[in-house]
Structure 1
């Protein structure tokens, strides 16, 4: 066991001193935190970006809903190596490779997380399996849990035809492949430029926008049986028009009366371990659209926030 507090080191950390867009982000040198009882410290090597990262820090009112105050860190998904262990921790050792989530503080050289916590409360850590690199591991937590929670609502199975709106985004990458692994046929909406990327994931691409319902009917004359809307409400409402019952429709970014929304915080225990194993075994592919150094975090956020990348954006530290 290392001795928390025995060495004074600094940590680069991306922070907000005022809430706002990418222009409000700064890289600061701060004292590295130390692991307290029941905690581990992780030397972060990579942090994956998600839409929620910049959404919840966009203004003070939104940040307050997530319990965030200034100065505030940035980013939630991380991967790295345990380098300090607090009292009472027996499940991890210095040198263990780990990944997980730490709400709005992951883009930093060092973070402290609870050995038995959750992303939103204390942070969480999971062992990184052999065969899974840190850059990919850093892209799993938020999107993987959200996709798994959405699939748990609609329960895809062999014989299903699932319509996934926003299939080329960060959550869609997981949702398409997990639905296919469950035996379902997948039709994925996206821009015309995303068609090849969707086919690579195993989805049949359909362009969104006016006339989408007719295009889906042409692809699936026998009907659609389940819908996941990963962007807003358009695909969910299209599902109703296609005759899909509300209990087989879900959303992640909007609320529609009568339709059950999915929340990654409600993903079943063991979800991340299962997803990490699938990736390590090359049964689930997580495309990394772009990688940036921490000094270019603003450019990384601008790219990710534009919502036109096909895959994940990762910061390397």
Structure 2
């Protein structure tokens, strides 16, 4: 039976329930998607706890989740841009934590063939938010940019996008994430008291732009560093936006799917790294949010609808975190694209609706401007 995550009252992860649902039917212009992977995000915790009830009202029982990737299962009348069994990435409003969902066809883009499911399913919120934040402050070549919480989901991508534009990026983080940030070409600085002096020590000529992805004292830090309010952006500190008259991200809903496609292709071409720190099956959604709510996640936590068990599997019922298996790895080594050869962690079991689930012949456009040979080595990719 199809399942979805719902909650019927505000509270912590304990209010989340996995309930049976009927398979939804796509209306005109809509697509039914069988979900393979879905990301979880801090905003979902804030909504579930009622902290954003004035901005986003919940109607119980309430679903949750925005990010997802999966296969097209059925098409509503008038949909010609996709076919059944196409692998897609998409977004929805409070409904992606489910085995099946219906969305407008305009919310979907083909999944690049080389993009892992767990990354594809967690890309929308962090990818589009980071893209908009970098655009909002006009990052350009030669800028010095500070990104707070640079090892987190949005911060990690924003830092890399700024680097692709030719900026020098300073990332605030906890010391255990320094090695990771250095591998991305980001200069790490410890957050907390004294951060202004530590930033000035590594950039004596000043800071041009500041991207806040965490809140707290970051806007005060940016102001103290002398950054123009027109080049300070926050994705979370609404009070600071009003207090300082900050430049906020433009409402880009109409361009969200296009931006998602651009970010997905950059990741598939290994120009962006999106770390996945944990993958939980849907029925363990409470545990996934307990981990997220601790606030120390590197990159993304993902829900997998069909986690794979394979022959001779040696690890059973143990969560191996990305952070745990990379401790002690030297940063001075050649880049190696090896993750494609690891055993799969999320799969898809074929059934009547998907006679050829491995068929991704429509997954990448034939004329992808980001995949042309002459563009593959560019570092100043336009983000706007």
Partner of 2:40: 49
Relative to structure 2, which stretch is displaced further, 250-259 or 207-216? 250-259
2:149 pairs, out of 166, 173, 194, with 166
Partner of 1:156: 139
Instruction: Decide whether the 8 Å contact of 2:137 with 2:247 is kept in 1.
Output: no
Partner of 2:124: 141
Alignment of 1:88-237 (within 5 A): 88-116=78-106, 124-237=107-220
Write the distance in 2 (CA, Å) between the matches of 1:211 and 1:98.
45
Corresponding pairs, count: 300
How far did residue 268 of structure 1 move?
A: 4.5
Query: How far does the alpha carbon of each residue in 1:7-31 deviate from its partner, in whole angstroms, 9 at most, with x for none?
Result: xxx3111111222210001111111
Partner of 1:302: 290
Instruction: Decide whether the 8 Å contact of 1:46 with 1:314 is kept in 2.
Output: yes
Secondary structure of the equivalent of 2:2? strand
CA separation of 1:64/1:71 partners in 2, compared to 1, >3 Å: closer, same or farther? Answer: farther
Q: For structure 2, list consecutive stretches of 5 or more residues without a partner in the other structure.
A: 306-384
Partner of 2:301: 313
Write the distance in 1 (CA, Å) between the matches of 2:156 and 2:175.
17
Query: How far does the alpha carbon of each residue in 1:244-271 deviate from its partner, in whole angstroms, 9 at most, with x for none?
Result: 1111111110132221123674584521
Q: For structure 1, list consecutive stretches of 5 or more residues without a partner in the other structure.
A: 1-9, 117-123
Write the distance in 2 (CA, Å) between the matches of 1:216 and 1:101.
36
Write the distance in 2 (CA, Å) between the matches of 1:81 and 1:91.
14
2:237 pairs, out of 247, 251, 254, with 254
Query: How far does the alpha carbon of each residue in 1:278-297 deviate from its partner, in whole angstroms, 9 at most, with x for none?
Result: 01111111110110111111
How far did residue 132 of structure 1 move?
A: 0.9
TM-score in terms of structure 2 length: 0.75
Instruction: Decide whether the 8 Å contact of 1:254 with 1:261 is kept in 2.
Output: no
Write the distance in 2 (CA, Å) between the matches of 1:240 and 1:15.
41
Instruction: Decide whether the 8 Å contact of 1:149 with 1:263 is kept in 2.
Output: yes
Write the distance in 1 (CA, Å) between the matches of 2:186 and 2:218.
15
CA separation of 1:65/1:20 partners in 2, compared to 1, >3 Å: closer, same or farther? Answer: same
Partner of 1:79: 69
Write the distance in 1 (CA, Å) between the matches of 2:105 and 2:61.
25
Instruction: Decide whether the 8 Å contact of 1:145 with 1:264 is kept in 2.
Output: no
Secondary structure of the equivalent of 1:31? coil
Give the CA RMSD over aligned residues.
1.6
Aligned: 1:12 with 2:3: yes
